[in-house]
Structure 1
C-alpha cells in the first residue's frame, strides 16, 4: 500500500469528524445528543464490533504466535501507561487535563482505524494479528481508562469500583468474542449480519460525536494550546519512535515488529472522548486531541508504514 492509499483512509475519518462539527454548529447534534450517541456506541455498537472482530479461524499451530502477540500487547500497554505518567509530569498537567492527556497517550484508535489500515497493509494476516494485539484494549479501557478519566470527576458513573467495574459491555464483549475464538464457534448468519450492521455504525457515530463536541470550541484554539500540541506529537510520533528503537534492539521482525508499532502510532481512540463524556471528564479536550492527532496522522502513519516496509 502506498502513501496516498493510507492517507485516504485516514482522511475519511477526518472528514467524518468535520461532518459532526458542522452538525454540532448547526445544532443538529446538541451536547445532550452527543452524550446519547456516546452511550449508544459504548453499550451497543462497540461491543458488536469487538465480537465480530474476533470471528476468525483458530488453529493449534497459531496458538504460540497468538500468545506471543497478546503478551507483546500487554508489554506495550504497560510501557505506554508508564510513559504516560512521565510525560504528564513533564507537561505539568493537573486535574482533568492530566487525566485526558494520560489516557490519550495510552489508547490508540484501533477499532476505527487500526483494522482497515492493517488489513490494507498486510491483508487477512494483518487483521488476525491486530485482533490479538487489540485484545487487552477493552479490558484496559474499561479499567485503567475509566480510573484515569474519572479520578478528578464527581460523576456517579465513576463510583463503580472493583469487580463491578469489570462487568461492562466492553469486557463482556471481549469475553464472549474470545470464547467463540478459542472454541472455533462461528456466529449463525442472521446473528452475524445483525452484529455487522451494528458494528459498521460504530465509526461514523463515534466520529460524529467527536466532531459535534469540537463544535463547542474554536478550532484555532487547538493550535494555540502548547500542551495539547506536545501531547499530540508524543502520541503519534515520540512513542512510536521509542518503540521502533526498542524493537530494533530486540531484533523483532515481521508482524511482531510491524503490527504493534503501526497500532501504537494510530491517533487517539475515539473511545477516549466517549468515555470522557460518560464519566464527566474534559470531553472537549479529548475531542481536540482526537482531531489533532487524526490530522497529524495523515502524514505520520503513511511515513511509519513506509519505513517499516
Structure 2
C-alpha cells in the first residue's frame, strides 16, 4: 500500500511528459539531449547523493555479497538470453538488440527513480552496486553481441569507455566511501541531492 503513492506520482509525471510531447513542446533533439543529461549528470549525481546513507540497510559483508550475486546473475543472464532468442526465433538482424535487452537492466535510467521512490536512499546504495556489473557487461558483452549480429566487424569495446562511464565511476566512488566509512560534507551532499533530483522527472 505504501508504494502506491510514490508509483502514482511517477506515473503522473510520465503522463505529463507524454502530453507535453503530444503538444510538441519539445524540440526534435529534446529526447536525446535529456537522455544525455540523465546518464551523464543527473543519474551520477543521484548515486553520489546516497554516499552518506550507504550501509544503512546492511553491513559491509552483506554489500559485498550482494555485489558478488550481481556479477553471478549476469553469468546466468547471458546463456539464458541466447536460449530465449533461439526459442522465440528472433531474426538475425535483431538478435544483438534482443540479447542486449535481455541481459541488461535499466538501473541507470528509470530504475533509480523507482527504487528511490519506493525504498529510499538506503536502497539506492545497492542500486549503485548493481550499476557496476551492468556497465561492465553493457560495454563489453552487450556491445560485442550487437556488433556481431549487425553484420559489422565486431570491435573490442574500449576499456576507457567502460571504466570512465559516469555511472560506473560514481558507483565505485560510493563503494570506496562506504568501505572507508567516509562521509560527504552536508553542503556537497545537498548539492548532489538537488542535481540528482532531476533524474526522476527527466527520465
Superposition TM-score, scaled by structure 2 size: 0.76
Deviation at 1:10, TM superposition (A): 3.0
Tell me the equivalent position of 1:44: 41
**In the alignment, is the contact (CA less than 8 A) between 1:112 and 1:203 conserved in 2?**
yes
Which of the pair is proportionally richer in helix? 1
Specify which of 177, 192, 195 is matched with residue 198 of structure 1: 195
Tell me the equivalent position of 1:81: 78
Deviation at 1:141, TM superposition (A): 3.9
| Separation (CA, whole Å) in 1 of partners of 2:75 and 2:54 | 28
Tell me the equivalent position of 1:20: 17
> Where do 1:162-181 residues align within 5 Å?
162-166=158-162, 167-181=164-178
| Separation (CA, whole Å) in 1 of partners of 2:41 and 2:147 | 22
Give the count of matched residue pairs: 194
* 1:161 counterpart SS class: coil
**In the alignment, is the contact (CA less than 8 A) between 2:47 and 2:125 conserved in 1?**
no
| Separation (CA, whole Å) in 2 of partners of 1:79 and 1:130 | 19
Superposition TM-score, scaled by structure 1 size: 0.53
5+ residue gaps in structure 1?
A: 207-309
**In the alignment, is the contact (CA less than 8 A) between 2:51 and 2:174 conserved in 1?**
yes
| Alignment RMSD (CA, Å) | 3.2
Tell me the equivalent position of 1:65: 62
| Separation (CA, whole Å) in 2 of partners of 1:147 and 1:54 | 33
Deviation at 1:6, TM superposition (A): 2.6
State the Cα deviation string for residues 102-142 of structure 1 (Å, max 9, x = none).
Answer: 333330443121343244xxx95x55655545543344444
| Separation (CA, whole Å) in 2 of partners of 1:141 and 1:170 | 12
**In the alignment, is the contact (CA less than 8 A) between 1:103 and 1:149 conserved in 2?**
yes
Deviation at 1:170, TM superposition (A): 1.6
Q: Is 1:161 equivalent to 2:157 in the alignment?
A: yes
**In the alignment, is the contact (CA less than 8 A) between 2:140 and 2:157 conserved in 1?**
no
